Structure 1
Amino acid sequence: MTIGDALRKERENLDLTQKEMVEGTSISVSHYSKIENDIQDIKAKDLFELLDARKIDVNNFRKKIIDKKRNSLNELADQLTKAFYKPDIKLAKAVKEQLADFSDAEELQIRAELVVAVLTNNLKETKQELSAKLINYFERDATWMDDPDMLRIIGNSTRVIDFNFLATLMNKLLVKYQKIDQYPLDTQKRIGNIFVNYLHVLYDYRAKRMARKYINFLQNLPGIPELTLDKLMGDYYDAVFFKNEKELAQTLSVLKRVVPKIVSGLPEK
């Protein structure tokens, strides 16, 4: 919700005309009309003057704007997820365009770029640009390893980030989360998923020696149902990287029964 939208709702709740809304303030009716219609911005001092004149609580007014904005971003995030899994290129592009209006939604904006690039088979063409954005994003924030949104970005972009930079990020995660059972289940699942995606990248680069420690991590995850798939994927990549045909056949048989949709995208040799 913009400030203009919020002011309009406040005015309508007070049953006032635009002229009555600005009465007793230094704001003209024509200027206020443009503010309501998001044609012009309103200065902070003018906003406070207007809210004070109409006895509108500043904190409540601000909270309404923030809550509405948060809800809008949550809805867009849900739509982006639906667009990816349908798949729906048109919806993904529409969400990406809407997110451009939010100056503080960089995580979602990057996710939207990734989704659109994947759905339009344009990942290779946009890889360099996206990789530069992602590197800049991670280098700016030293707390990224504790931020679920930052971790989500990594999980979605392992095939986009520069390989050498990605290896540095993965190694830092491996060191931080070596005692993974001490973290909440959501964190365990998130880190497991990231390493599964990273192993696919390592396979593409034939980086067998780098894969061993991430395979071990997955295989040593706590033995609880929610982490079964990640543990299975650890067994799967163990068999793929180290040429264990019997283990590969057994693991693929289980994966095809449990998650048949993802098997088609996995290497089998």
Structure 2
Amino acid sequence: MTIGEVLKEEREQLKLTQKKMVEGTAISFSHYSKIENGIQDIKAKDLFALLDARKIDIYTFKEKVDNQRNENLDELTDKLTKAFYKPDIELAKQVKEKIDDFSNAEELQIRAELVVAVLTHNLKETKQELNSKLVNYFERDATWMNDPDMLRIIGNSTRITDFNLLATLMDKLLVKYDDINKFSLDTQKRIGNIFINYLHVLYDNRAKRMVQKYIKFLKKLPGIPELILNKLMGDYYDALFSKNKEELAWILHVLKRAVPKIVEGLPEK
């Protein structure tokens, strides 16, 4: 609900016409009509004058606006998540446009930008614009490390995210999930997959000195069937970086038989 919609609600409760609503203020009837219909904004000083003229409590009014905006943001958050998982590019773009209208939703706006960029494979083109926002967001708010949606977005964009920013994020995740056995199986899979993607980035950037701690993480994942692929991928990158051709050939042979689609995207296949 916008300010205009709340004004309309207040006006109807007072049983006033639009002309009577603005009587005694500097707001014209035509301007007010457009405010109620969301066509034009209202200046703060005019809003205060209007509320005062109609004896409407400003704090109650603000609470109504804020509560409705929070409900709208919750709904938009759900829609953004659905758009990302479908995936539905058009829905994501529509939701992003609506989220951009809120002045108190920086985190959600950044998330929406990331979702649209990932779905349109446009993150590389937009990363310079996003980078400063992302750095501020990730440094200020550590809750992203507990958010499955944000982790999935980060995991899907590792190969096209700013390398220095990505290195910072990966190190934070490594500290957060160091004792990975304490976390759920879904979390173990999710973090394992993120680090597998990151190892590919490290290979592309020839950053061999940074790989061992992530390989070590994958190797210490529980030895259960659900995580076999994650552990095998850890062995693959270990053999790749150490140039153990015999071990690499054996692992690739297993991967080609078990999950041939994964092999297609590997550095050496």
Shared fold (TM-score, shorter chain, > 0.5): yes
Alignment of 1:18-167 (within 5 A): 18-19=17-18, 22=21, 30=29, 32-38=32-38, 39-41=40-42, 43=44, 45=48, 52=56, 59=63, 62-82=66-86, 85=87, 88=89, 90-118=90-118, 120=120, 122-139=122-139, 141=140, 143=142, 146-148=145-147, 151-152=151-152, 154-167=154-167
Q: Is the 8 A contact 1:158 1:198 kept in 2?
A: yes
Paired with 2:152 and 2:103, the residues of 1 have a C-alpha distance of 19
Residue 206 of structure 1: aligned partner = 206
Structure 1 position 255, deviation (Å):
2.4
SS in structure 1 of the partner of residue 259 of structure 2: helix
Structure 1 position 40, deviation (Å):
1.9
SS in structure 2 of the partner of residue 221 of structure 1: coil
The alignment's TM-score, normalised by the length of structure 2, stands at 0.71
Task: Work out which of the residue numbers 252, 255, 262 in structure 1 matches 2:259.
Answer: 255
Gap regions ≥5 residues in structure 1:
none
Q: Is the 8 A contact 1:219 1:235 kept in 2?
A: yes
Q: Is the 8 A contact 1:180 1:188 kept in 2?
A: yes
Paired with 2:17 and 2:236, the residues of 1 have a C-alpha distance of 66
* Stretch of structure 1 that moved more, 101-110 or 244-253: 101-110
Paired with 2:50 and 2:213, the residues of 1 have a C-alpha distance of 57
Paired with 1:161 and 1:154, the residues of 2 have a C-alpha distance of 8
Residue 181 of structure 2: aligned partner = 181
Question: Quick check: which has more Rg, 1 or 2?
Answer: 2
Q: Is the 8 A contact 2:6 2:64 kept in 1?
A: no
Distance 1:142 1:2, change over 3 A: closer
Matched, 1:222 2:234: no
Structure 1 position 95, deviation (Å):
4.1
Paired with 2:20 and 2:193, the residues of 1 have a C-alpha distance of 53
Amino acid across the alignment from 2:83 = Q
RMSD value, Cα: 4.0
Structure 1 position 266, deviation (Å):
3.1
Gap regions ≥5 residues in structure 2:
none
SS in structure 1 of the partner of residue 158 of structure 2: coil
Deviation string 1:107-150 (CA, Å, 9 cap, x unpaired) is 444444445445555444434333343223333x1635645266
Q: Is the 8 A contact 2:11 2:18 kept in 1?
A: no
Residue 194 of structure 1: aligned partner = 194
Structure 1 position 75, deviation (Å):
1.1
The alignment's TM-score, normalised by the length of structure 1, stands at 0.71
Deviation string 1:11-47 (CA, Å, 9 cap, x unpaired) is 67x5956439838996967254233122123647468
SS in structure 1 of the partner of residue 129 of structure 2: helix
Paired with 2:266 and 2:114, the residues of 1 have a C-alpha distance of 20
Paired with 1:225 and 1:8, the residues of 2 have a C-alpha distance of 60
* Stretch of structure 1 that moved more, 170-179 or 102-111: 102-111
Amino acid across the alignment from 1:41 = I
Structure 1 position 219, deviation (Å):
2.8
Paired with 1:263 and 1:185, the residues of 2 have a C-alpha distance of 24
Structure 1 position 245, deviation (Å):
0.9
Q: Is the 8 A contact 2:76 2:95 kept in 1?
A: no
Amino acid across the alignment from 1:133 = K
SS in structure 2 of the partner of residue 159 of structure 1: helix
Deviation string 1:158-183 (CA, Å, 9 cap, x unpaired) is 23443234323322321332112223
Matched, 1:266 2:241: no
Distance 1:64 1:165, change over 3 A: closer
Distance 1:11 1:231, change over 3 A: farther
Q: Is the 8 A contact 1:26 1:46 kept in 2?
A: yes
